[in-house]
Amino acid sequence: MVDTHSHVARCQESPEEILEQAGAAGLTRILSVGLDEENNREQILLVEKFDQVFAAVGRHPNDADGFDQFAADDIEALAAHEKVVAIGETGLDFYRDAADPEGQRIAFAAQIDIGSRLELPVVIHVRDPQGKDDAVAEAFGMLDAAGDGLEVILHCFSAPTYVEKAIERGWYCSFAGNVTYPANEDLRLAAAKVPDHLILAETDAPYLTPQSRRRMRNQPAFVVETATLLAELRGVTYEAFDRTVTSNAERVFGW
């Protein structure tokens, strides 16, 4: 099994402890995702120290204020590292008021452009207030404008009404621990619809701990619980789902 989206540097335990537990759970690869300039550099240090860790570098929409050409150039320079396999996470977040929407659009457009030119997948964060779809609709539009060829990963997929649209576009849908929460039946129905070749599993550690461990901080090893539920939803064994997710991650990240 693999964890296709985590924040190893922000986990409570040391990276050594996190990776020891991940290995014991059967994980072979972890994508550790950057959120801003400083955090991106933490990812580079991690991938240089640990063989099983790979990185994405980007600017999170909640930290998008002040994004400029220097910030874009910095992401592109870091993306030249051989173990940086994706751009992001980036996107639009209208749920929180942490960053100006226009600043988010500027940062998102720049990172789409970097991913397109460098032929790296773009890891997307998108979130709306309850009952709204402004951010997801606009994000889909901006990604569509990039044209064919851009690999898109909808991280922590949480827009069930858009699952068919994502599938039509050939975008990867990655499911995190929130798919295990009792209230998220619509999300579980969406997870069952995603074709085998487009599904991924993640933790978003240290956030979104799966249901049975809600009192704990999340970590990559806990992707096994999410993957177990996803396998059940899709009517396959855990072993078969493991092979599917591992193969998809190898294809999109090239690791």
Q: How far is CA 180 from CA 55, 116, 202, in A?
A: 26, 33, 12
Domain range spanning residue 86?
A: 2-253
pLDDT at 96: 86
* CA 173 distance to own-chain centroid: 9
Euclidean distance between CA atoms 109 and 80, whole angstroms:
19
Please indicate, yes or no, whether the overall pTM of this predicted structure exceeds 0.95.
Answer: yes
Give the CATH number, domain containing residue 174.
3.20.20.140
Euclidean distance between CA atoms 199 and 246, whole angstroms:
10
Euclidean distance between CA atoms 201 and 3, whole angstroms:
6
pLDDT at 97: 83
**pLDDT in 10s for each residue of the chain, 255 residues:** 999 999 999 999 999 999 999 999 999 999 999 999 999 999 999 999 999 999 999 999 999 999 999 999 999 999 999 999 999 999 999 998 889 999 999 999 999 999 999 999 999 999 999 889 999 999 999 999 998 899 999 999 999 999 999 999 999 999 999 999 999 999 999 999 999 999 999 999 999 999 999 989 999 999 999 999 999 999 999 999 999 999 999 999 999
User: Are the C-beta atoms of 221 and 22 separated by less than 8 Å?
Assistant: yes
- Structural tokens at position 68: 């400029």
User: Are the C-beta atoms of 180 and 229 separated by less than 8 Å?
Assistant: yes
Q: How many domains does the chain have?
A: 1
E-strand spans in 22-142? 29-33, 53-57, 84-93, 122-127
